[in-house]
């Protein structure tokens, strides 16, 4: 599970070949023991939860980096290495 970004204590992962459970492009976010899966298309939570502040940070980050995330998704869904994406600053 490659770490593709980290900001304000939030870790963002994208798993290789992770197309069966959610069937759409998504990322996994972790913060202080909480985990959530976010859709790349609309930044909505598909599963799990994060505190509201961190949820909004992840959603803003997805909006800013949607094209890069889709490029990473294309790679990861083929089992290829992903690239790092700039964190929120």
Q: What is the pLDDT of residues 34-63, one digit of tens each?
A: 999 999 999 999 999 999 999 999 999 999
Total domains present in the chain: 1
Query: Is there a domain that residue 83 lies in?
Result: no
Question: Which stretches of 1-89 are DSSP H helices?
Answer: 52-76
Q: Could you read off the pLDDT of 6-40 as tens digits, one per residue? A: 999 999 999 887 766 667 899 999 999 999 999 99
**What single DSSP character describes residue 31?**
E
Residue numbers of the domain that contains 27: 3-76
| Threshold 0.75, pTM exceeds | yes
Query: Is there a domain that residue 29 lies in?
Result: yes
Query: Is there a domain that residue 86 lies in?
Result: no
Query: Is there a domain that residue 47 lies in?
Result: yes
Question: From CA 24, how far away is CA 27, in angstroms rounded?
Answer: 10
């Amino acid at each position: 599970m490659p770490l593709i970004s980290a900001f304000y204590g939030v870790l963002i992962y994208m798993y290789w070949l992770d197309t069966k459970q959610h069937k759409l492009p998504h990322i996994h976010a972790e913060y202080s023991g909480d985990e959530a899966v976010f859709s790349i298309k609309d930044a909505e939570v598909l599963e799990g939860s994060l505190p509201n502040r961190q949820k909004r940070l992840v959603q803003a980050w997805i909006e800013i980096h949607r094209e890069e995330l889709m490029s990473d998704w294309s790679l990861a869904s083929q089992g290829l290495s992903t690239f790092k994406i700039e964190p929120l600053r």
